[in-house]
Amino acid sequence: MSDALLPLPMIHGIPAAIGLAVGCAVANAYATGNIIDIVFGSIANLVAGVLAAKISKGKPILACTYAVVAVTLIVGSYLPLLFPIPLWLSYISILIGESIAIYLIGYPLLRILAKMRE
């Protein structure tokens, strides 16, 4: 659910991306305690946030798409190291989950917050 916040650095910039990465590290340390998940999950969130902040050009759909793609590729790549699942299933499951969280929750939230800043 917290991944719905990944597009928000489009509005709030790099500090928001850093905050999301740190929050991910803390949550993953508490939830899984797995160093791979802590490090690479945080990197995925940082990459998603920086892409949203720097190259989305103020377009919410781009900020959301960058977040979905970054997390899907990074987390989807290491998930088979943690669980006995095929790589393709990892990518598909992460893509579906990220798409739901980011497009259905994050996109409307981003649009509302962007309008409030105008």
pLDDT tens, residue order, the chain (118 aa): 789 999 999 999 999 999 999 999 999 999 989 999 999 999 999 999 999 999 988 899 999 999 999 999 999 999 999 999 999 999 999 999 999 999 999 999 999 998 998 7
What is the reported pLDDT for 21? 97
Q: At what angle do helices 60-82 and 107-117 cross, to 10 degrees?
A: 140
Helix and strand numbers, DSSP H then E, in the chain: 6, 0
Which range of residues forms the domain containing residue 101? Answer: 2-117
> CA 114, CA 9: separation in Å to the nearest integer?
11
Residues contacting residue 56 through CB under 8 Å, at least 6 positions apart? 7, 10, 62, 63, 66
The number of folded domains in the chain is: 1
Yes or no: say if 44 and 72 are a contact pair by the CB < 8 Å rule: no
